[in-house]
């Protein structure tokens, strides 16, 4: 790791002469429509502004976010970690390990106090003092509190860090909680998905690198640029939904014709993500494109909203095989039975009262 | 059968109109809503461009919903500013201990056959008023807020999304809100059964012509037949 590397350093390392560097700055000022007097400011910024230092922690997780991240095509992962950010600590991607790596983390925290980005993949086990997730000899609960204290902002990668994912699905044996439950005093960008789309991940980093600010967030703390619309809104099978042409089983004519998967339990109409826009693996495909209903992996607590292959969720407190319609029909039946019983009692009472009246008469 | 001895004009035209528009909308909303959740019909094989199987059901649901909302707001306006003695929810005073005490308790006892005489009310009795508050006011309010929040999802950043979108994080996710909207829809058929039963029963037991009163507006008192 090269400490505090600036853009000027990068140019120099790439064999660009001082003269060419100054030319570049002058041209940049022209592109930006700035006056010639601004050129020295640009030179200064390029010489002094360092790449954004990023500490990337891994908690209770499966590393699928990292797997997705390294497959980004726009920008590529090389472009991102060599030209935009300085990925100082990442226990999955770093060459070093053990104490050496932990020292790097502490050094970055000290050198860039209040300036580094903390990226968190996975969530935090809180039960029994967090012993169910130990990294580098300490519980992840302690590590994240320590590292977050001096961070400028936090990026919560994936469904785990954002909402909890499978670890905190019922019954949540390790007491796993999303990052936002632990860190309350820092801005948190949630980038949900299991995993998030690689271009969404790199897009969030690129936004911060380019503008120096966090992207605009929605009510759930997700970047609006990628999570503003539902998969359903941009789905290429939407026309079949509107037409009422649905796949009814995975081996029918509709499946072959690529009809809408709504009746197969597709969660696209309630899932906010960019799968139907950006797609996966450099625009190759996405779940619905491959004929599988969306399971809503970027939505909060999607594991507990099952089953995946029906539209209507079970009613949690009434156990499996219950759903809103079954409960509704039973309740309506009970109301009808109650009314009938009440009517019967009324009739009996009335008949009795009538005969008593007759007796009196 | 005794003679009609009194005729009381209870339900004025705005109330009767509200009642029937509301009834019609509720039925249409329930049927179209259940269809949207579980579309039954299959169009013949062909190009999607020629069919509107789902669109029409959704369109009908949304259009009816806006009539339902307007009608609901009109009823609230009428209660507050209509100056209608029987249309201003006057029989519902849950903040008053005396309301829970004698009148409410008497009516409950009567429904449970614990007393023989039926308390008689020109407007709604206290139990009916509570049922209307829970099912019609609270139930409709929830369906309207959650419905508009979900409708707002079609246009992120638009009016409905800005003003009602907070319902989505409140319920955890869009899917949970859909689920809650679906589950709550079932209170309306339950209410319908109880409502119809109560009306017919009161008509038979009290002979106040409550059934026809929602068409004509008049309730009647019948002279007790000489024994």
- Rounded to two decimals, what is the model's pTM? 0.87
pLDDT for B80 beyond 50:
yes
CA gap B147, B164 in Å, rounded: 9
Sign of the alpha-carbon dihedral angle for B206, B211, B212, B218: positive
Do B155 and B75 share a structural domain? no
Residues B76 and B142 in one domain: no
Question: Does the ipTM exceed 0.90?
Answer: no
Within-domain flag for B47 = no
CA proximity to B149, closest of B159, B134, B135: B159
pLDDT in tens, B11-61: 999 999 999 999 999 999 999 999 999 898 887 777 888 888 899 999 999
Tell me the pairing of strands A176-177 and A138-139.
unpaired
* A243 contact residues in B (CB cutoff 8 A): 43, 48-55
Distance to chain A for B211, nearest Cα, Å: 16
Give the pLDDT confidence score for residue A98 in this predicted structure: 87
Residues B136 and B64 in one domain: no
Q: Report the C-alpha gap between B192 and A339 in whole angstroms.
A: 11
Q: Which of the residues A218, A270, A316 would you substitute to probe the B interface, choosing the one with the greatest number of B C-beta atoms within 10 Å?
A: A270
**Interchain pair B179, A229: CB under 8 A:** no
Q: Is residue B48 part of a domain?
A: no
Q: Please tell me whether residue A192 adopts helix, strand or coil conformation.
A: coil
Mean pLDDT of chain B: 89
Cα B13 from Cα B20, distance rounded (Å): 11
Per-residue model confidence (pLDDT) at position A1:
44
pLDDT reported for residue A357: 61
Q: B43 vs A361: CB contact, 8 Å cut-off?
A: no
Residue that the structure tokens 């100054």 belong to: A22
Determine, yes or no, domain membership for B97: yes
The pLDDT of residue A294: 95
Whether B226 is in a domain gets the answer no
Out of A244, A272, A315, whose CB is closest to B41? A244
How does pLDDT run across B135-167, given as a tens digit for each residue? 999 999 999 999 999 999 999 989 999 999 999
Rounded CA separation A4/A51 (Å):
7
Chain A environment of B174 (Cβ under 8 Å):
230, 270-272, 299
The pLDDT of residue B1 is above 80: no
- pLDDT of A290 reads 93
Domain shared by B78 and B146, yes or no: no
Residue A215 DSSP one-character state? P
In whole angstroms, what is the distance from residue A158 CA to residue A307 CA? 21
CB contact under 8 A, A228 and B34: no
B189 within a domain of the structure (yes/no): yes
Both B148 and B173 in one domain: the answer is: yes
State which residues form the domain around B58.
1-39+54-88
Q: Under an 8 A CB cutoff, do A246 and B39 touch? A: yes
Answer yes or no: do A263 and B39 touch at CB < 8 A. yes
Which residue in the set B39, B45, B194 is minimally distant from A244, CB to CB? B39
d(CA A298, CA A195): 8
Average pLDDT over residues B68-90: 91
Please list every residue in chain A whose beta carbon sits closer than 8 Å to the beta carbon of residue B52. 242-244
Are A200 and A280 in contact, with CB atoms under 8 Å apart?
no
**Residues B12 and B76 placed together within one structural domain of the fold:** yes
**B111 to chain A: nearest residue by CA?**
A342
Residue B6, C-beta contacts closer than 8 angstroms, at least 6 positions apart:
B220, B221
Residue B200 falls within a domain, yes or no? yes
Chain B closest-CA separation from residue A266 CA (Å): 11
What letter does residue A216 receive in the DSSP assignment?
P
**Nearest by CB to A244, which of B43, B45, B165?**
B43
Greatest alpha-carbon span in chain B: 75
Residue in A242, A302, A329 closest to B55 by CB? A242
Residue from A159, A328, A338, A358 whose CB has the most chain B CBs within 10 Å, to mutate: A328
β-bridge mates for residue A117, sequence order: A54, A153
> What share of chain B in percent tops pLDDT 70?
97
- Claim to verify: residue B59 and residue B122 sit in the same structural domain: no
Q: Are residues B113 and B173 in the same domain?
A: yes
* Overall domain count for chain B: 2
CATH topology of domain A51-226: Rossmann fold (3.40.50)
Q: Per the domain annotation, does B29 fall within a domain?
A: yes
Q: Which of B112, B157, B165, B179 to mutate to test the interface with A (most CBs of A within 10 A)?
A: B179
| Contacts with A305 from chain B: Cβ below 8 Å | 173, 175-176, 179
Chain B residues in contact with A233 by the CB 8 A cut-off are 154
Q: CATH assignment of A231-313?
A: 4.10.480.10
φ, ψ for residue B68, nearest 5 deg: -60, -45
pLDDT of B165 reads 93
Q: Which residue of B has its CA nearest to A358?
A: B227
Q: What local confidence, expressed as pLDDT, does residue A231 receive?
A: 95
Residue B130 belongs to a domain with what CATH number?
1.20.950.20
Judge if B1 and B18 occupy the same domain: yes
Judgement on whether residues B118 and B201 belong to the same structural domain of the protein: yes
pLDDT per residue, tens digit, chain A (361 aa), is 455 677 778 778 878 888 888 887 787 777 767 777 877 877 776 777 677 889 999 999 999 999 999 888 877 888 778 777 888 899 888 888 888 999 999 999 999 998 899 999 999 999 999 999 998 889 999 999 999 999 999 999 999 999 999 999 989 999 999 999 999 999 999 999 999 998 888 888 878 877 778 889 999 999 998 999 999 999 999 999 999 999 999 999 899 999 999 999 999 999 999 999 999 988 899 999 999 999 999 999 999 887 889 887 666 666 666 788 888 888 999 999 999 999 998 888 878 877 766 665 4
Q: Is A155 helix (H, G, I), strand (E, B) or coil?
A: strand
Do residues B117 and B101 both lie within one domain? yes
The predicted-structure confidence for B92-146, as pLDDT tens digits, reads as follows 888 888 888 788 888 888 888 887 777 778 888 888 889 999 999 999 999 999 9
- Residue A86, pLDDT score: 83
């Amino acid at each position: 790791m090269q400490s505090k590397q600036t853009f000027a350093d990068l140019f120099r390392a790439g064999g660009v002469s001082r003269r060419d560097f100054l030319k570049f700055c002058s041209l940049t000022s022209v592109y930006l429509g700035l006056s010639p007097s601004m050129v020295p400011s640009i030179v200064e910024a390029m010489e002094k502004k360092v790449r954004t230092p990023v500490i990337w922690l891994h908690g209770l997780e499966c590393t699928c976010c990292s797997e997705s991240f390294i497959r980004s095509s726009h920008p590529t992962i090389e472009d991102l970690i060599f030209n935009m950010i300085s990925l100082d600590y990442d226990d999955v991607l770093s060459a070093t390990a053990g104490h050496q790596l932990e020292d790097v983390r502490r050094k970055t925290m000290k050198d860039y106090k209040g300036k580094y980005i903390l990226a968190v993949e996975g969530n935090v086990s809180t039960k029994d003092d967090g012993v169910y997730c130990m990294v580098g000899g300490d519980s992840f609960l302690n590590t994240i509190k320590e590292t977050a204290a001096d961070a400028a902002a936090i990026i919560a990668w994936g469904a785990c860090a954002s909402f909890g994912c499978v670890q905190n699905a019922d019954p949540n044996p390790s007491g796993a909680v999303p990052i936002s439950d632990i860190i309350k005093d820092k801005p948190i960008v949630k980038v949900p998905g299991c995993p998030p789309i690689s271009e969404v991940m790199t897009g969030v980093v690129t936004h911060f690198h380019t503008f120096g600010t966090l992207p605009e967030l929605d009510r759930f703390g997700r970047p609006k640029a990628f999570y503003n619309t539902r998969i359903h809104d941009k789905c290429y099978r939407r026309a079949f939904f509107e037409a009422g042409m649905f796949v009814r089983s995975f081996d029918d004519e509709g499946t072959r014709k690529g009809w809408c998967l709504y009746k197969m339990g597709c969660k696209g109409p309630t899932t906010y993500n960019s799968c139907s826009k950006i797609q996966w693996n450099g625009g190759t495909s996405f779940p619905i494109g491959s004929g599988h209903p969306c399971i809503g992996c970027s939505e909060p607590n999607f594991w507990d909203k099952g089953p995946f292959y029906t539209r209507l969720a079970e009613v949690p407190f009434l156990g499996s095989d219950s759903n809103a319609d079954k409960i509704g029909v039973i309740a309506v039946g009970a109301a009808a039975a109650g009314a009938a019983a009440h009517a019967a009692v009324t009739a009996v009472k009335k008949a009795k009262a009538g005969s008593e009246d007759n007796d009196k008469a | 059968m005794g003679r009609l001895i009194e005729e009381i004009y209870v339900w004025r035209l705005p109330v009767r109109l509200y009642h029937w528009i509301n009834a019609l909308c509720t039925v249409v909303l329930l049927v179209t809503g259940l269809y949207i959740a579980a579309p039954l019909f299959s169009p013949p094989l062909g190009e999607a461009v020629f069919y509107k199987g789902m669109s029409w059901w959704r369109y009908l649901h949304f259009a009816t919903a806006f009539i339902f909302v307007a009608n609901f707001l009109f009823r609230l306006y009428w209660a507050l500013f209509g100056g209608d003695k029987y249309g201003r929810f006057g029989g519902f005073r849950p903040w008053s201990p005396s309301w829970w005490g004698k009148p409410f308790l008497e009516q409950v006892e009567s429904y449970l056959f614990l007393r023989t005489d039926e308390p008689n009310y020109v407007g709604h009795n206290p139990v009916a008023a509570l049922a209307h508050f829970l099912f019609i006011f609270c139930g409709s309010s929830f369906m309207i807020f959650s419905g508009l929040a979900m409708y707002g999802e079609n246009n992120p950043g638009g009016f409905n999304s800005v003003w009602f979108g907070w319902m989505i994080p409140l319920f955890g996710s869009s899917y949970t809100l859909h689920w809650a909207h679906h589950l709550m829809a079932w209170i309306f058929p339950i209410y319908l059964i109880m409502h119809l039963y109560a009306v017919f029963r009161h008509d038979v037991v009290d002979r106040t012509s409550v059934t026809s009163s929602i068409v004509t507006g008049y309730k009647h008192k019948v002279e007790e037949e000489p024994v």
